[in-house]
Structures are given as C-alpha cells and as structure tokens.
C-alpha cells in the first residue's frame, strides 16, 4: 500500500494528491498534524533518510526553533518532529518501502512506471 504523509492544506501536497488521483494510484493519506506520528516510524525514516533530508529548513516551523533546538536536532529529531510535524518535508511518499520526499511529476511517473 502506498502511503502519502503530509498536511492537507499544503499546496505541494495538493499537487501530489491530485497527480495520484489523476493517475489512478491507490494510496492512503496520513495527515501529520491530525493523525500524529509514532516514534518507531519517525526513527525508521531517520535511519533511512537522516534528519537533514527530512527537515524542511525553508519552512517557518524550522526557522521559529531557537538556535539551541536547531543545533540539537541530531540528538532530538524524533522528539522535535513529533512536537512540530510541519517541520517534515512534504509530501513524504512511501511506496514499496521506498521513501520519496517532495513532489515532482517526473519522479512519481518513474516511481509508478507511468508512460506519458
């Protein structure tokens, strides 16, 4: 099952969800804020991607963290991502145990083997 994680009102999320719908890809949507995130899942993502790839440093959530929290991110990533899920890049798509961060139609096309 393909799962897409993010926040419903994010413009990039809307593009990704629309793309999945238009291409008739079955998926389940998991809203970071509404549904929360389990420590074990976050740790899996961190093990696979590293906190540097998961954090959205351009977002206001990251910029609002004080410098001590930002510097301690390597040690507290799970805790900070649970407290501030909007800090995680989105969408985060899990398909066949592979993580894809962000949305680019050509990457999704290749991932789902869709010829256009």
Residues recognised as catalytic? 10
Query: How far is Cα 20 from Cα 80, in angstroms, rounded to an integer?
Result: 29
Provide the b/e sequence for 96-111 (b: ≥16 CB within 10 Å).
eeeebbebeeeebeee
Determine the 3-state secondary structure of 10 from DSSP.
coil
**Stretch (H or E) spanning 47:** helix 39-49
């Amino acid at each position: 099952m393909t799962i897409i994680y993010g926040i419903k009102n994010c413009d990039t999320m809307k593009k990704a969800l629309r793309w999945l719908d238009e291409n008739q890809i079955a998926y389940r949507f998991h809203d970071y804020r509404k549904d929360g995130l389990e420590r074990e899942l976050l740790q899996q993502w961190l093990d696979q991607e590293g906190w540097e790839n998961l954090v959205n440093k351009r977002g206001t959530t990251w910029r609002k963290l004080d410098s001590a929290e930002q510097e301690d991110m390597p040690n507290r990533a799970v805790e900070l991502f649970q407290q501030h899920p909007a800090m995680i890049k989105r969408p985060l798509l899990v398909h066949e145990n592979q993580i894809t961060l962000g949305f680019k139609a050509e990457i999704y096309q290749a991932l789902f083997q869709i010829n256009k």
